[in-house]
């Protein structure tokens, strides 16, 4: 198990991947760097789930991103019909998963609050997933730029374009997914939760890359 002595500074991500949870596992505090500029093509507003025939990327549309715009200032565009797409995607992808009924209604409740800002949606979903995992960890949003800290800093590490870096902390451990003969690694944490329920922590333990 990851033995982080105090905490970790992390990006604000949407329903983060398993590699994210492996990276923060064992921390007593997770600090979300909300004042950081938006990283292009990042997981800040997208995640990956498994549907019948493929791995699908779900994206939350946001209003035009300015150069160096802070993550905390990203507003969600509800004029686009993404909300129903995401909820239907979770239902169709995991409706028959063993633990779907344990988690879905709580997730749906967060979505239906229609938070204006992406930060709030991401934070609430992350808080819920940490609760599902029964982790004793404090989640804190840093509204101002994070300076030098004694925490581990994983900002920029969990990114679609940084597969090698993610592989440095995450070792895929197959579990029984709903669709497909081949295991799809490093999907959203909800894939693991819906499929494994209480066994999720065991999979995350085994997914930590040995140094």
Q: pLDDT, tens digit, for every residue of 121-135?
A: 999 999 999 999 999
pLDDT digits (tens, 9 = 90+) for 151-184: 899 999 999 988 777 878 999 999 999 987 799 9
d(C-alpha 126, C-alpha 189), whole Å: 10
User: Cβ distance 16 to 189 under 8 Å?
Assistant: yes
Between the two ends of the chain, the Cα-to-Cα distance in Å is: 12
Ordered by start, the domain boundaries in the chain are 7-206
Threshold 0.85, pTM exceeds = yes
| C-alpha to C-alpha distance for 196 and 183, rounded to whole angstroms | 14
């Amino acid at each position: 198990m990851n033995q982080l002595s105090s905490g970790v500074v992390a990006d604000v991500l949407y329903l983060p991947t398993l590699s994210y949870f492996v990276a923060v596992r064992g921390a007593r505090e997770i600090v979300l760097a909300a004042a950081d500029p938006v990283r292009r093509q990042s997981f800040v507003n997208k995640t990956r789930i498994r549907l019948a025939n493929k791995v699908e990327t779900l994206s939350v549309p946001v209003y035009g991103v300015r150069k160096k715009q802070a993550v905390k200032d990203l507003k969600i565009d509800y004029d686009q019909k993404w909300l129903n797409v995401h909820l239907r995607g979770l239902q169709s992808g995991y409706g028959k998963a063993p633990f779907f009924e344990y988690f879905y209604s709580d997730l749906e409740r967060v979505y239906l609050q229609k938070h204006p800002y992406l930060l709030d949606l991401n934070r609430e979903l992350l808080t819920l997933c940490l609760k599902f995992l029964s982790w004793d960890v404090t989640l804190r949003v840093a509204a101002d730029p994070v300076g030098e800290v004694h925490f581990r800093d994983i900002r920029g590490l969990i990114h679609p374009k940084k597969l090698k870096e993610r592989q440095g902390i995450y070792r895929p451990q197959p579990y029984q997914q709903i669709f497909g003969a081949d295991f799809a690694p490093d999907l959203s944490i909800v894939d693991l939760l819906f499929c494994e329920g209480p066994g999720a922590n065991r999979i995350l333990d085994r997914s930590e890359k040995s140094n």
